[in-house]
Amino acid sequence: MTARPRNRRRVEIYFVLYVVALVLLMPDPSDQTQPTGPSPYDYSRLDLQPERVRLESRAVRDTGNQLILVQQDSLNVIRYTGAVTDVRVSATVFDETTGKDIVINAGDTATQLFSLVHDPSRSAAVFRWRPALMQSGIGRTFRVTLTAMGVPTSVSTANANESDNVPSGLRIQGSTQFMLSYVVDDKPAPNAIVQLPGKVDTIRIREGGPSFGGETMLGEFWVQPARERVTVLHGTRWTNRISVGGADVSRDLANAPAVKASGDGSASVRSYVDAATRTVVLDGIAPRSGTLNVDVTLLRRDGQSRSASFVVSAEPLAALALPEAIYPGVEAELATRLPSMPGVEVVAILKGERGEIQRTTGDVIRYTPSVSDTNKTIYLERYVDDQRVGSPVPIRIRSFDAPEILAAKDVAGGTKKRIVVKYFGPKMDRPVLDILDGNVGRIQTLYGNNYRANDRDPAAPAWIIEFDIERKDGSRPFSFRIQARDKRGMRSRAWSE
């Protein structure tokens, strides 16, 4: 009776072990969904190569000091290669001087200075600019980033007979850069100058794209700093960009940029790659004195290297010369003395108790306080790239002084007295003359004798107004006690004779 149950338990254990073994031998469904090789889109690439990496136009002044264009590279052809279709091209033109950019799509006519034409049949885009329209006596540099986007076609994988269908909406992108330079020679030309005709095209589209052994060539490798000299205020942060041609900075560089810096502030220099603009960005803290020399070397994956260098110099911020006080109802001109720093945002901000009142990037802030601002203090601050430079400068809003009686002169043989009064504020806010006591009859305001006073404080306008008062009783002495009163109720000291 006791042996049979023990045999039954042994059989049950063997059955469970058998089931577990079968489960372990079953294939994992997740393993079956893993790809056996790289996606075909890992091999997709859209490469662009410009015919020219720099287009330069040069203008000189003739004997009449007029600008004459003597050289213009006005056209560039950019070819693209890759297993793509439905390609769309656009260009972003960045002005290194102003820090602003313009986006141009193929066929746009919004700007006359730049244009872009796409020729899909030859896998090329034609970029044109018209330096003759610059009409500027200042040199300019532009960085052009041309971008192309397309739908990848089916690409064979490692299995020769296998191909993938392109998912809907998938697009790949490629870009390249080149520079536009407008150089102005400010020295008047000693000889006659022959002006170029209106259209000079030096480049023609060639059929096909560059390739070697089935692999797309990288093209001419070049680097160029946006600014060869960066001038900022000492102690502030500077930034400069290195444009790169013939290489995509996010995939074609063999290693990180090699940066060498010498001079005050060299320890603060750092670099990083901005894939969106295809540039290498460098920044740091400006030297307290002297200059900072920066050298950058880029190594392309095919072993070619290129270098660029620039200098960072610092200048002190000009001291402000502001009035100690300004007055309600009178426009004050506050000279900001902002430095000229291309590519850097420099701004002056006027602030009060409730925050910002007014800001400008210009030379002057024009501000008119109201009467309610009387006896308050405002501050002028200056900023470079959102970093305040120097201390806030206080400016007091004062009330106007009371009018003053300056003189009483005999006129009309002693039958009249001419009273000279000085008052402050707007010219039309003329005071009145009050007779406190005395032998005085009619009072006449001489509006024609109303003129600017020669006052030491230009921020507080002062004026002169004259009054004639007549003797009331000729048999009595011409004695009187008078006082000037302005529109704010301010009174002068009493004048007695």
Does the structure show a pLDDT above 70 at 171?
Answer: yes
Averaged pLDDT for residues 346-370? 90
Question: What would the pLDDT profile of 371-406 be if each residue is shown by its tens digit?
Answer: 889 899 999 999 887 888 888 999 999 888 899 999
What's residue 227's pLDDT? 84
CB 310 within 8 A of CB 227: yes
Question: What would the pLDDT profile of 401-451 be if each residue is shown by its tens digit?
Answer: 899 999 999 888 888 999 999 998 888 889 999 999 989 988 999 998 999
Greater pLDDT, 19 or 188: 19
Lowest mean pLDDT among 77-86, 299-308, 457-466: 457-466
Nearest by Cα to 142 from 218, 73, 238: 73
Nearest by Cα to 57 from 117, 142, 176, 120: 142
CB 326 within 8 A of CB 356: no
Local confidence band at 12 (pLDDT 50, 70, 90 cut-offs)? low
Mean pLDDT, all residues of the chain: 79
Task: Spell out the domains of the chain, with CATH numbers in brackets.
Answer: 46-156+169-205 (2.60.40.10), 224-315 (2.60.40.10), 325-397 (2.60.40), 404-496 (2.60.40)
Does the structure show a pLDDT above 90 at 491?
Answer: yes
Greater pLDDT, 28 or 121: 121
What's residue 307's pLDDT? 93
Greater pLDDT, 496 or 460: 496
What's residue 218's pLDDT? 62
Q: Is this prediction's pTM over 0.85?
A: no
Does the structure show a pLDDT above 90 at 109?
Answer: no
What's residue 11's pLDDT? 56
Greater pLDDT, 479 or 35: 479
Averaged pLDDT for residues 327-334? 87
What's residue 37's pLDDT? 45
What's residue 421's pLDDT? 95
Averaged pLDDT for residues 279-301? 90
Greater pLDDT, 30 or 313: 313
What's residue 138's pLDDT? 72
Lowest mean pLDDT among 217-221, 349-353, 471-475: 217-221
Nearest by Cα to 494 from 479, 483, 478: 483
What's residue 432's pLDDT? 93
